A and B are shown apart, each in its own frame.
Chain A
């Protein structure tokens, strides 16, 4: 028997396309889209420079981009910046890892059993909308100022997106996969590891990404309230020193460090898993 139509299909080799592109037919090149993005950013920086240098807004409140760059360079040179970045990342990693360790398995269990879903749903719905930073006062009462309080705030913020998305992924598993498991009599533990978790992967990755992002946002707020170092502390401290250049510089560092991990790391993780399997979510 000869192989039938033995050419790998070339679907899914193209990236996601916007509705506009698909309606219009031939799409603008990837390069042009990237260029537009950078041009816009340059435009924003230029506007900022104009606004600051012409003195429309008082100079001691709005420094120019160059002054901000200079402040960041100085903070980098005396080791302050690196120290604060490392402190923030350290807290982020510890709190985030804890939230994954708790949120992922719990999400799997919740998604699997309709009873746990019913049991937890109402409670989670009330707790979920509480912003992570709103936990900080309680955390300070319980753990005092410092590391533990911040870890607690990140943990509690990151754990819910991970749990809720993982549970949704398990609950939304395609019926046909369940039928394959039934037909072949796959044992529950193996079915869980080999079928349920990978099938829920698009949702799990969304949860991990969201958890990381919200965690990073909360850590900065928590450091403003409850720390003596870290990027949040650094920008708040710069405010006391009337150093808007360092405040803005610190904010940009927060954004860039967040971007690096959130997009670079999670994009890589997605390409390695659901991208390779052709399971990207379309949303």
Chain B
């Protein structure tokens, strides 16, 4: 069976001054083959740290990660990574970018570009195979980056807030496309996000994380049938459930009044609106 086992992962950093900061601790997770997992939490909760350790980009301070029983000691062809900022090479064409993983594995030019073009064709990007990344929009760049990760046929897809920089419409389309790819290939996906809606939409299980120090707070089984209807009561209830579990993290229930601010700005009470003020529309 092909699966990811994460055992008691811990990561500490030394900061200037000699003290240690705990970025991640007590992180354990068993991911089944073909399972879609979202790591959800605020920034600084260690979710990307956990992802990078699984990727082999970062060394853990303690614990271990196994993919198909094999201990992770560094990056490997069984795992591919999709970066938040796409990380495409501007000097390579779209097809060459998609083929970069294959090139790194020693594939010859013709077969690797053929494979890249075939993948791009399925994703409706074949028109842009010979374009440079700068000619593409953010959404298309991220799709190329996903194609690059898929091209090496990894067992596990690691994704670090891949859609965070996109507008809401493009994000919705890419989420849809990612699910189509996932259903077609049955890849195991570990997906980091800070977007509750995104997690509920995509994941089989949502790992809710908490910061300072980064650790797991709870795991939400997200068994809503697919395709998920984002307007259904069950969906909204799930979103609310996750949101409530994140409540403290989001600072909810600690409403601040900021009374002093008005004093600093020289107005104890709100000033009446002025006639003809020109900056109102801004």
> What's the nearest-Cβ distance from chain B to residue A184, in Å?
4
Contacting pair B90 A180 (CB below 8 A): no
> Considering the chains assembled together, what is the distance between the CA atoms of A7 and B92 in angstroms?
19
Contacting pair B89 A195 (CB below 8 A): yes
The number of A-B residue pairs with CB atoms under 8 Å apart is: 100
Residues of A within 8 A of B124 (CB): 1-3, 6
Residues of A within 8 A of B131 (CB): 8
> What's the nearest-Cβ distance from chain B to residue A279, in Å?
5
Contacting pair A184 B101 (CB below 8 A): yes
Minimal Cβ-Cβ distance residue in B for A180 = B87
Residue in A1, A177, A273 whose beta carbon sits within 8 Å of that of B123 in the complex: A1
- Contacts A3-B124, A183-B57 known; list 15 others, CB within 8 Å: A1-B176, A3-B140, A4-B139, A8-B128, A8-B131, A9-B137, A179-B83, A182-B56, A183-B55, A185-B75, A194-B92, A194-B103, A273-B91, A277-B90, A277-B132
Q: Which of A5, A183, A185, A278: most chain B CB closer than 10 A?
A: A183
> Considering the chains assembled together, what is the distance between the CA atoms of A199 and B90 in angstroms?
9
Contacting pair B180 A182 (CB below 8 A): no
- Chain A interface residues toward B at CB < 8 A: 1-9, 11-12, 176-177, 179-187, 190, 194-195, 198-199, 201, 273, 276-279
Minimal Cβ-Cβ distance residue in B for A201 = B91
Residues of A within 8 A of B132 (CB): 276-278
Given A6-B127, A180-B100, do A279 and B152 touch, yes or no (CB 8 Å)? Answer: no
> Considering the chains assembled together, what is the distance between the CA atoms of A182 and B87 in angstroms?
12
Of the A-B pairs whose beta carbons lie under 8 Å apart in the complex, a sample of 27, sorted by A's number, is A1-B124, A2-B124, A3-B123, A4-B174, A5-B139, A6-B140, A8-B128, A8-B131, A8-B136, A8-B137, A176-B85, A177-B89, A179-B57, A179-B87, A180-B83, A180-B87, A180-B89, A181-B104, A183-B57, A183-B80, A184-B105, A184-B152, A185-B77, A187-B104, A190-B104, A199-B91, A279-B91
Residues of A within 8 A of B87 (CB): 176-177, 179-180
> Considering the chains assembled together, what is the distance between the CA atoms of A125 and B81 in angstroms?
41
> Considering the chains assembled together, what is the distance between the CA atoms of A182 and B83 in angstroms?
13
> Considering the chains assembled together, what is the distance between the CA atoms of A215 and B91 in angstroms?
29
> Considering the chains assembled together, what is the distance between the CA atoms of A279 and B55 in angstroms?
29
> Considering the chains assembled together, what is the distance between the CA atoms of A8 and B174 in angstroms?
18
> Considering the chains assembled together, what is the distance between the CA atoms of A183 and B58 in angstroms?
11
Residue B170, interface by CB 8 Å? yes
Given A4-B140, A176-B83, do A278 and B134 touch, yes or no (CB 8 Å)? Answer: yes
> What's the nearest-Cβ distance from chain B to residue A207, in Å?
17
> Considering the chains assembled together, what is the distance between the CA atoms of A7 and B136 in angstroms?
7
Residues of A within 8 A of B139 (CB): 4-5
Contacting pair B90 A9 (CB below 8 A): no
Residues of B within 8 A of A187 (CB): 104
> What's the nearest-Cβ distance from chain A to residue B118, in Å?
15
Residues of B within 8 A of A11 (CB): 134
Residues of A within 8 A of B83 (CB): 176, 179-180
Residue B177, interface by CB 8 Å? yes
Minimal Cβ-Cβ distance residue in A for B91 = A198
Contacting pair A186 B104 (CB below 8 A): yes
> What's the nearest-Cβ distance from chain B to residue A101, in Å?
23
> What's the nearest-Cβ distance from chain B to residue A187, in Å?
7
Contacting pair A277 B91 (CB below 8 A): yes
Residues of B within 8 A of A278 (CB): 90, 132-134
